[in-house]
């Protein structure tokens, strides 16, 4: 009798449990689906309510920028510059990498005119190649100019003002426009876009932006007196002022033992080049 009751009771319990289990699954599924639907509707509503409308001009300007994200414009990448131009915070020709056609198109988008500024290129004020200067000791540290600059004597080269040659500027250039040649950095004028990213990487501040038209350049940055310069580098400026006397256009001066050229006055006549005893003033020094 007991066995018969058990035989009939157990299947009934299993059926009831199965029914409750199925019902529980359905309820849970419905709850999850309902919550998902609610969240989806809420997110859709929030996206429309709190959406920030992007200026169409910003989108068009961004499409016209080269996308180099070099930072040469002073803004955080091309997106940052596009936003600044659209807001009127930056001129249409703020990108040093974009060409004149792109500048004109950006100006058209903004409904403004643009006056093209003079193209600038990077120049390394050092011609102290391996055969013209020597090292004081062997450096085995990190191959980075900024790291080497804190080594004893501001680096291992005899001239503490010159190019260290470890390529910090090379690594930051996005255009393959600067390379280490015979121990010093050399700029390829044809590839240089004038973004100026390399200038910030040089611990000795050797890299400066000069007009693209400039052909006569002083390849030195040493402020030491002539005797000390000669002891450190055979190609360094000794501050003799022969170049100053030779120039008929008042375009070159010696300040703090170093010759400087005023590119607004320089005619590239080459007379200063001819009289320089150490040949530190060169024509077409950027190749």
**Mean per-residue pLDDT, 197-217:** 94
Residues of the chain within CATH 3.30.70.20 domain(s) are 120-283
Tell me, yes or no, if the pTM score tops 0.75: no
Q: 120-283: what fold?
A: Alpha-Beta Plaits (3.30.70)
Q: 56-110: what fold?
A: 3-methyladenine DNA Glycosylase II; Chain A, domain 3 (1.10.15)
In this predicted structure, what is the pLDDT of residue 37? 85
The predicted-structure confidence for 84-98, as pLDDT tens digits, reads as follows 988 889 888 888 888
User: Looking at the predicted structure, is the pLDDT value of residue 137 above 60?
Assistant: yes
Measure the CA–CA gap between 165 and 203, rounded to whole angstroms.
11
The predicted-structure confidence for 60-118, as pLDDT tens digits, reads as follows 889 999 888 888 888 888 999 989 988 889 888 888 888 888 998 998 989 888 877 78
Radius of gyration in angstroms for the set of CA atoms belonging to the chain, rounded to a whole number: 34
Residues of the chain within CATH 1.10.15.40 domain(s) are 56-110
To the nearest whole percent, how much of the chain has pLDDT over 70?
Answer: 87
Measure the CA–CA gap between 191 and 68, rounded to whole angstroms.
14
């Amino acid at each position: 009798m007991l066995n018969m009751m058990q035989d009939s009771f157990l299947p009934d319990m299993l059926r009831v449990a199965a029914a409750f289990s199925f019902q529980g699954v359905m309820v849970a599924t419905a709850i999850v689906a309902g919550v998902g639907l609610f969240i989806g509707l809420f997110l859709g509503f929030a996206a429309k309510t709190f959406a920030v409308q992007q200026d169409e001009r910003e989108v068009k300007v961004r499409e016209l920028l080269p996308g180099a994200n070099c930072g040469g414009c002073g803004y955080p990448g091309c997106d940052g510059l596009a936003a600044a131009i659209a807001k009127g915070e930056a001129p249409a020709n703020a990108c040093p990498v974009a060409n004149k056609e792109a500048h004109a198109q950006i100006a058209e988008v903004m409904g403004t005119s643009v006056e093209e500024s003079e193209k600038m290129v990077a120049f390394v004020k050092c011609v102290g190649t391996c055969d013209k200067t020597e090292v004081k000791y062997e450096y085995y540290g990190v191959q980075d100019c900024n790291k080497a600059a804190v080594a004893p004597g501001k680096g291992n080269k005899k001239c503490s003002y010159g190019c260290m040659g470890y390529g910090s500027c090379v690594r930051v250039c996005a255009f393959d426009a600067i390379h280490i040649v015979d121990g010093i950095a050399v700029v390829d004028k044809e590839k240089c876009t004038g973004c100026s990213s390399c200038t910030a990487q040089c611990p000795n501040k050797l890299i400066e932006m000069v007009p693209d038209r400039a052909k006569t350049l002083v390849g030195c940055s040493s402020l030491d007196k002539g005797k000390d310069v000669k002891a450190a580098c055979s190609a360094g400026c000794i501050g003799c002022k022969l170049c100053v006397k030779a120039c008929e256009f008042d375009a070159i001066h010696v300040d703090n033992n170093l010759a400087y050229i005023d590119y607004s006055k320089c005619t590239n006549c080459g007379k200063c080049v001819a009289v320089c005893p150490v040949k530190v003033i060169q024509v077409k020094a950027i190749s």
